[in-house]
Structure 1
Amino acid sequence: MTWHRSPFAGFDLETTGVDPETSRIVTGSVVRYGGGRPTAARSWVVDPGVDIPAEATAVHGWTSEAVRSAGRPAAEAVEEITAALAEEAERGRPIVAMNAQFDLTLLDREARRHGVTPLFDRAVPRVIDPRVLDKKVDRFRRGTRTLSDLCRHYVVTLDAAHSSDADAVAACAVAWKIANRHRWLTRLELSDLHEQQVHWAREQAEGLREHFARTDGKQELAASVRLDWPLIPGPRAGVAL
């Protein structure tokens, strides 16, 4: 059975910001998708311990007051999310995450911040990133490539964008659609597909870095483009998060 016929573990976070080194988790979901079984989701609302900026609330709808009332303590939630992903990885299920570099790095930093053993220290997850796959199979398509964009392109329903469970399910559906349309991907073993994405993501990031470097007004952005995937290496010991 090819990997795209087996269950996926979808993963998504909604956060306080866009910097994985400093942002905090607000909601998170781990979903089981596909493999001929009903979709099931585990979701967490998290009190990040910091105020949620208005621009983040405008995206996902959660206010500081709401998460203080309904949210779990961050350390407990981060432990449970990390453990859930590690369990899925140990079962051999791919972790599917849109823009995986961001979510997996942020989860790693939250784990280190709260004294939780990070995911990549517990397991060897194989990751599938619909964004990386889409850029590989359709490199020259014009336009942006957000999850909403990919859902429109691959005809995937996304009824509640920026809800972590809906986004995680949609990422799985997009990954399946890409694999089903480009069958050569399904002939790769899951571990090989992961390693190929490491190379594809690096090439894509190098292209973006070069684009910024030669575009007036964007040169300063070039240095911010990271080439690592699916996880940006952690800070050196003794460096505060």
Structure 2
Amino acid sequence: MQQQRPWYEGPLASFDTETTGVDVETDRIVSAALVLQIAPGAPASSATWLADPGVPIPDGARAVHGITDEQVRADGRPARTVVAELARALAEQARAGVPLVVMNAPYDLTLLDRELRRHRGGSLAEYLGGAELLVLDPRVLDKHVDRYRKGRRTLSDLCAHYGVRLTGAHDASADATASLELVRAIAARHPARLGTLSAPELHLRQAVWHAAQARGLQNWFDREGTPERVDTAWPLRPARCGCGRRLSDEHRCEAAA
């Protein structure tokens, strides 16, 4: 009987965005990419999007990704159109059961959810239509398997640590491709801890691991007297309305408008 290959040797998709800033509640998507690779070493296909966010791109964000207001006005498409296409593309991968790599998933996925609510009046969950994203977050995975390693864990830092090539950092397609290769490298280095689990099992466990990691960081902030608050939700931060309650299909209030 042929042994089934581990998930990290099979098909993976990867999603990344470049944005107007780092606040998932207020900032906008400027560009995005979805990369698909059927096996390690196989050619990767990439779909890319450029959106006109409808607001000026701040100098700080432009310095990171190099995308200008003139570019998005000339070549970008309306954000309303782009975010809907992104959601449908992710839903297609979810229905196919292809794991989705997202570096720092609560950022990119939450931002997409808020953009959908802003421009389309619907959530990411509604676009998924009951399909489940099987998310693999290299930051969460690395922190779990190598908890006490010192140093930063940005995408470039992790790629350097695991020997993954990253060319054109802060380009959505380049970052998505590197994130995908990074997840394969982390699992291949720790097959006993990650490779024996299925993608659905890993998705569930990462939510627990991330919550524990977030609580540890919050404890450190508290000891240092830093007012920053760390969200334990993964891979998507719940939306909240003006009354403070979590938004859902069942709960919507006028304050959310």
TM-score with structure 1 setting the length: 0.95
Deviations along 1:52-106, one digit per CA (max 9) or x if unpaired, are 1000001000112221111110011001111111101111001101000100000
- In structure 2, the residue matched to 1:127 is 135
Q: Which residue of 2 aligns with 1:21?
A: 25
- CA gap of 1:77–1:116, structure 2 versus 1, over 3 A, is farther
The aligned counterpart of 1:109 is 114
Q: CA deviation at 1:117?
A: 4.2
Partner of 2:198: 189
SS state at 1:114 partner: helix
- Aligned equivalents of 1:105, 1:21: Cα separation in 2: 8
Instruction: Give the equivalent residue in structure 2 for 1:10.
Output: 14
Q: Distance in 2 between matches of 1:49 and 1:240?
A: 21
2:47 corresponds to 1:42: yes
The structure with the larger Rg is 2
Q: Which residue of 2 aligns with 1:206?
A: 215
* Residue identity in the other structure for 2:60: E
Tell me how far 1:128 sits from its aligned partner.
0.2
Secondary structure of the structure 2 residue equivalent to 1:9: strand
TM-score normalised according to structure 2 size: 0.89
The residue identity in structure 2 corresponding to 1:69 is: A
2:93 to 79, 88, 94: 88
Gaps of at least 5 residues in structure 1 are none
Q: Which residue of 2 is the match for residue 179 of structure 1?
A: 187
Q: Distance in 2 between matches of 1:119 and 1:156?
A: 31
Which residue of 48, 59, 63 corresponds with 2:64? Answer: 59
Quick one: structure 1 residues 108 and 239, their matched pair in 2 at CA, closer, same or farther if it must change by over 3 Å? farther
Question: How big is the shift at 1:119?
Answer: 3.0
Percent identical? 49
Name structure 2 gaps, 5 residues minimum: 242-251
1:34, distance to aligned residue in structure 2 (A) = 3.9
CA distance in 2 between counterparts of 1:7 and 1:239 reads 42
Contact in 2 for aligned 1:151/1:174 (Cα 8 Å):
yes
Partner of 1:170: 178
* RMSD (Å), alpha carbons: 1.3
